[in-house]
Amino acid sequence: MGSAVEFLIVGQGLAGTALAWELIWRGRDVLVVDAGEAVTSSKIAAGLVTPITGQRLALGWRVDEMLAAARPYYERVAVELGAGFFHDRIVRRIFRTAAEVEVWGRRRDDPARQAHIACGWRPEVGAWGGCDFHGGHLDCAGYLAASRAAFERRGCFWQAELDPEEASAWPARRVIFCQGFAGSRHPFFSWISWRAAKGEILTIRTSGLDAGMILSAGQWLVPLEAPAGPGDAAAQWARTGSSYDWETLDNRPTAEVRAGLERGLAALHPEPAGVVAHQAAVRPIIRESRALIGLHPVREKLGFFNGLGSKGSLHAPFFARQLAAHLVDGAPIEPEADVRRNC
């Protein structure tokens, strides 16, 4: 059994990392425990912030509130880490059908969308035109690794695999489980209804990309900050994805999905591309990627922060701040997000 601590955070993905920073900034005693797995949904996440999404070109859920929490959070983390991992990007949506053009024609003048539109019509893009949005990209792997190093320097990180019983017995005032899809097997939060999905992503080496632009047309393509290989100044690194598999919930990449992503990539970016890595992980989805947070209804020592799904880079700061305020100051949790009201 470890030493006493005020807050034990189990899991250092996007949820656990954001909660740890929020509690540290409030001057609390924190220990983050993580198994250190090489591949997790947070570590391979695309980190995209796209305010207008999907075939219906829908405005993201509470996107203005989420952005208002995310931007200052990542700015403050950048100061802590001495490096910034969140980057503003233009998201270029390339229309694939006349139906998409028609939907956009009805929606682009919506006042709620106007603030997020960089260019409402790009007739020169592809066969059906396109449009540009204001968005962003979080280098999730870099951000998580740098945060872990910062926690280690503070003496508040321990690499270990704790089962729920071990963690719950820890001499801590609160134990907060932030374990991603592993949380679906948690014995103390077994009532939560999950709708997890496996996603697969390719890391590629190519050329001809606009480093400040994310492309989106059925799948996305995001340039990376990683340097090109020695002696090849024209080479660029990028990632493309992603797939959704609601049945086979494991971390094994599949040849079928890779082939589909490569076909989609060829249509999105015709320059030659070589696959550097092919990764898969399970997104922790609860209720359309809307997180649940808070304390167990009976075991008040135990807390829960999970369900960010594919929106972790955007939603984690908002929910981490709300949960930290609840844990430290007793501030209320909004009913829709409160794990106690969803049991």
Q: What is the pLDDT of residues 306-325, one digit of tens each?
A: 999 989 999 999 999 999 99
Q: How many CB atoms lie within 10 A of CB 265?
A: 22
Domain match, 88 and 227 both: no
Query: Distance (Å, rounded) from C-alpha 121 to C-alpha 34?
Result: 46
**211 and 265 fall within a common domain:** yes
Residue 275 has pLDDT above 80, yes or no: yes
* Residue 150, domain CATH: 3.50.50.60
The string of pLDDT tens digits covering residues 86-139 is 999 999 999 999 999 999 999 999 999 999 999 999 999 989 999 999 999 999
The reply to whether 333 and 187 lie within a common domain is yes
Whether 181 and 232 map to the same domain: the answer is no
Q: Which CATH number does the domain housing residue 240 bear? A: 3.30.70
Res. 192: pLDDT tops 70: yes
Last residue of a domain, one of 95, 114, 138: 138
Instruction: Output the pTM of the full model.
Output: 0.95
Residues 187 and 292 in one domain: yes
* pLDDT tens digits for range 246-263: 999 999 999 999 999 999
- 55-63 long-range contacts, Cβ below 8 Å, gap at least 24? 55/100, 55/103, 56/103, 57/93, 57/100, 57/103, 57/104, 57/107, 59/110, 59/112, 59/113, 59/116, 60/311, 60/314, 61/288, 61/290, 63/116, 63/314
Spell out the alpha helix ranges (H) of 26-139.
63-81, 98-107, 111-114
Residues 230 and 264 in one domain: yes
The pLDDT value given to residue 3: 77
Report the number of distinct structural domains present in the chain. Answer: 3
In Å, the largest CA–CA distance within the chain is 63
Which of 107-121, 189-203, 232-246, 280-294 is predicted with the least confidence, judged by mean pLDDT? 232-246
Query: Cα(79)–Cα(217) distance, rounded to whole angstroms?
Result: 35
Does 145 lie in the same domain as 124? no
Q: Which domain holds residue 27?
A: 5-45+141-195+286-342
Task: Name the pLDDT band for 63 (thresholds 50, 70, 90).
Answer: very high
Same domain? For 221 and 160 the reply is no
